[in-house]
Amino acid sequence: MKNASARYLWGDYLDKHLEYAFSHEPKVTHIGNSENEVKEALKLILSGKKRATSHSLLGLQYRKEPLPKIGDFTVLTDWKGDAKCILRTVAVRLKPFFSIRESYSKIEGEGDLSLTYWKNKHWDDYTKELEAFGRVPRESMIVVCEYFEKVFER
């Protein structure tokens, strides 16, 4: 793990949870596309209001990133890369964009928790993300819904 802050946080977690000592190295990342978005997502995660995140399957494929899977660990950082908490993936669902329901938007915990907010925000995010690959989002595109639990924070 290149990020020293993430390495130390992961080490502190392993000191208390030796059963995961041989787990794969966690992914180190932030959630959001700007400093303000990352700050807001961290606030929601640390408070327990945000318990899911959504990836476009196409974006993951174009960036050659693996699908999240149950049991994966993620060290979540702020915009500067300072580790703040550790998440563990508890469920992954692949759904067409058009099939996302309000119950999911509430679990994702952003904005006013409405489906309308979720769809508008994610459509904009996916448009920006896929533009780099000459693609556009579609109602039928697959969204990777990753559910997580916060398992450790300092």
Quote the pTM value.
0.94
How far is Cα 55 from Cα 13, in angstroms, rounded to an integer? Answer: 26
Strand partners, 146: 53, 92
**Rounded mean pLDDT, 128-153:** 97
Average pLDDT estimate for 20-32: 93
Please say if the pLDDT value at position 11 is more than 90.
yes
Helices (H) and strands (E) in the chain, counts: 5, 5
Q: What's at 146, amino acid-wise? A: E
**Tens digit of each residue's pLDDT (9 = 90 or more) over 83-118:** 999 999 999 999 999 999 999 999 999 999 999 999
Mean pLDDT of 121-139: 96
Q: In terms of residues, how long is the chain?
A: 154
Flag whether pLDDT at 79 surpasses 90.
yes
Nearest alpha carbon to residue 52 among 120, 151, 145, 152: 145
| Res 154 pLDDT > 90 | no
Q: Which residue has the higher pLDDT, 1 or 129?
A: 129
